Amino acid sequence: MSGTLDGCVVAVVDDEFIIAEGLTLQLEDMGMSVCGTAATAEDAVRLVQEKRPAIVLMDVRLDGEKDGVDAAIAIHETVGSKVIFVTGSREPATMERIQLDHPAGVLFKPISDWQLRQAIDAALAS
């Protein structure tokens, strides 16, 4: 297991409670610390601005009018955390939209421990 992830602070954004919870456990099992979860773009931006995590796991589809890309752009402009998108979709429209925010990584659900670790390693290295 990579040691670089120990203590890394991550925010989890997903409107599905169980998925947010599962990702939190996954991150904690890898030795990272989750600073909070959010279900909407607004809450996500607020959470990240307050806690300033190194990494944000961002679902693309969120509750409310704004999506994960909107939140990621706002985060990129204000805090600068590395945003890794988490999506169930690989359809071109979603992928195009994700590219608007120069993502640090994209993960497709369901996400294995190995993929999650690799993506965070890569994001921190970039």
Pick from 22, 46, 79, 124 the residue near other proteins by CB under 8 A.
22
- Using DSSP's 3-state secondary structure scheme, residue 116 falls into helix
Pick from 18, 65, 125, 126 the residue near other proteins by CB under 8 A.
18
**CA distance linking residue 56 with residue 86, whole number of Å:** 10
The least CB distance from residue 32 to other proteins, in Å, is: 14
Q: Which of 23-31, 35-43, 49-57, 74-82 is the region at the interface with other proteins (rule: CB under 8 A)? A: 23-31
> Does the CA dihedral 14-96-75-124 come out positive or negative?
positive
Q: Which of 32-40, 46-54, 73-81, 86-94 is the region at the interface with other proteins (rule: CB under 8 A)? A: 86-94
Closest CA to 24 of 103, 126, 116, 93: 116
Total interface residues for other proteins by CB under 8 A: 21
**CA distance linking residue 41 with residue 1, whole number of Å:** 32
**CA distance linking residue 19 with residue 38, whole number of Å:** 11
The least CB distance from residue 87 to other proteins, in Å, is: 8
For residue 109, state whether it binds other proteins (rule: CB under 8 A).
Answer: yes
Interface residues with other proteins (CB under 8 A) are 16, 18-19, 21-23, 25-26, 29, 88-91, 108-115
